[in-house]
Structure 1
């Protein structure tokens, strides 16, 4: 498991491109028949991917967590962005089509990840946060998610936001998860920019063409930086950082949050005039 420690925003001002990517970008999320996991000390979230091509994969962190099993003190949300997936939780089978989400709560010992069709393997993106109580395992399709139409063509940010794990959807301790899909002709996400010092956030950018790139904006509003992101790469966003992006074409991204509160609308908005 890759370990990422927290950073000081004053120090980050001095980072070059290589150091920014080392600290905040996860380049390889999906590796055939493996779990790819990054443990960040921002709210102790684990960001990862499972790509079961030829075999079933067990959710297991080895001795990295120093717990008896992965979900002993954690909860997790899975988003399938590939072919049909099969997730087995304590012997109960859940079938996930593309853009379906499965939440698995604290206390589940045995979680197995597999593809229903080896010719069209599943790609399971997941985020896991610490949990203080148990919630039921629950699946949600995109059709069942809470959709919000946002933005406009005039501002190049017309998009659909789907909320899966949140206060009015799948219940969890602190994990929130959703998907935002930009319409053709729109390229900007999360504008106006904002921060929420009570929670960290992670992004997975996907549904991008090979040559497409997203310029992910980060940093304090007065000291912005950017990371150039390719398809199926993930970003770790500190609580003190903005997290907006502009692409060379439209794209989709999964956002997850964990931290102090459980309020989706807790955002400190930064108008464009306040960015430097």
Structure 2
């Protein structure tokens, strides 16, 4: 079963007037991981698509998605897949990729139908593409890692870069995930914006009672979302994207836009936040 929800772009002036329900309707992705289903969110921010796939007992195939306007979803798109579940298999273009928990798979434009099987819980991120690169399965050991933050500021973390210029080429999709040391709960703080790219987060590895206070909005007009396990936050280019958890968590980050430069960001001073 395939479900696609469309999210339109929101002007920052409109976001200032939104109540909690409107903010969640426009910027929170919930219920993405349902057994036997493919659930996608098609955003009008750089045409990014994010979603979840849980094969369950029967393999699921991602092929025609009407919102993409092509015969097959990857005819003019590239795709990143992150397995946050048990062992699974993703097959495309005649190759079956065995994915362990934490593995990332890149599939280029023109890969054709994609079939998901096994016990995996697959997070998807897709952006329009203009060229074909090589498919690649990237285990955690092959990721580029950055160790940032400190225990004193409760943000000691490891950033794992997978679909990234230092690891492998892509058209515009950049993707990885961040893991925290015990006792560290703050992510992406001090915060930033990047007007040339949108970004989306998927929070995972959380206990049922844990919540993330995900900060968004313009630096001078911040808002927040209360996010549960395996929920996504969609960040417009004009918005900060930062958060603090009530317990342990990890998060996947994915970006699309004008470039693939991970450091292309406009830092926001703490004293400028409102």
- Tell me which interval the TM-score lies in, with the shorter structure as reference length: over 0.9
SS of equivalent to 1:161: strand
Counterpart in 2 of 1:208? Answer: 206
Backbone CA RMSD of aligned residues: 0.8
Q: Distance in 2 between matches of 1:185 and 1:56?
A: 39
TM-score by length of 1: 0.97
Deviation of 1:60 after TM superposition, in Å, equals 2.5
Structure 1 segment 100-111 matched on structure 2, within 5 A: 100-111=103-114
Deviation of 1:183 after TM superposition, in Å, equals 1.2
Q: Retained in 2: the 8 A contact 1:59–1:70?
A: yes
Structure 2 residue 31 is the aligned partner of structure 1 residue 28 = yes
SS of equivalent to 1:255: strand
Q: Distance in 2 between matches of 1:7 and 1:66?
A: 22
Q: Retained in 1: the 8 A contact 2:63–2:113?
A: no
Counterpart in 2 of 1:263? Answer: 261
Deviation of 1:85 after TM superposition, in Å, equals 1.0
Q: Distance in 1 between matches of 2:81 and 2:189?
A: 26
Deviation of 1:63 after TM superposition, in Å, equals 2.4
Q: Distance in 1 between matches of 2:223 and 2:246?
A: 18
Q: Note the alpha carbon deviations across 1:178-223, whole angstroms, 9 max, x for none.
A: 0101111010000110000000000000000010000000000000
Q: Distance in 1 between matches of 2:77 and 2:98?
A: 22
Q: Note the alpha carbon deviations across 1:126-171, whole angstroms, 9 max, x for none.
A: 1000000001100100111011111000000001100000111121
Counterpart in 1 of 2:15? Answer: 12
Structure 2 residue 250 is the aligned partner of structure 1 residue 247 = no
Q: Distance in 1 between matches of 2:257 and 2:19?
A: 28
Counterpart in 1 of 2:229? Answer: 231
- Aligned mate of 2:77, from 69, 74, 80: 74
Deviation of 1:79 after TM superposition, in Å, equals 0.2
- Aligned mate of 2:57, from 54, 60, 84: 54
Structure 1 segment 184-223 matched on structure 2, within 5 A: 184-223=182-221
Deviation of 1:65 after TM superposition, in Å, equals 1.9
Counterpart in 2 of 1:118? Answer: none
- Aligned mate of 2:151, from 140, 150, 153: 153
Structure 1 stretches of 4+ with a deviation exceeding 6 A read none
SS of equivalent to 1:107: coil
Q: Distance in 2 between matches of 1:266 and 1:64?
A: 29
SS of equivalent to 1:12: helix
Q: Distance in 1 between matches of 2:25 and 2:234?
A: 11
The runs of 5 or more residues in structure 1 that have no matched partner are 116-120
Q: Distance in 2 between matches of 1:8 and 1:56?
A: 39
SS of equivalent to 1:167: coil
Q: Retained in 2: the 8 A contact 1:103–1:170?
A: no
Q: Distance in 2 between matches of 1:220 and 1:172?
A: 29
TM-score by length of 2: 0.98
Counterpart in 1 of 2:93? Answer: 90
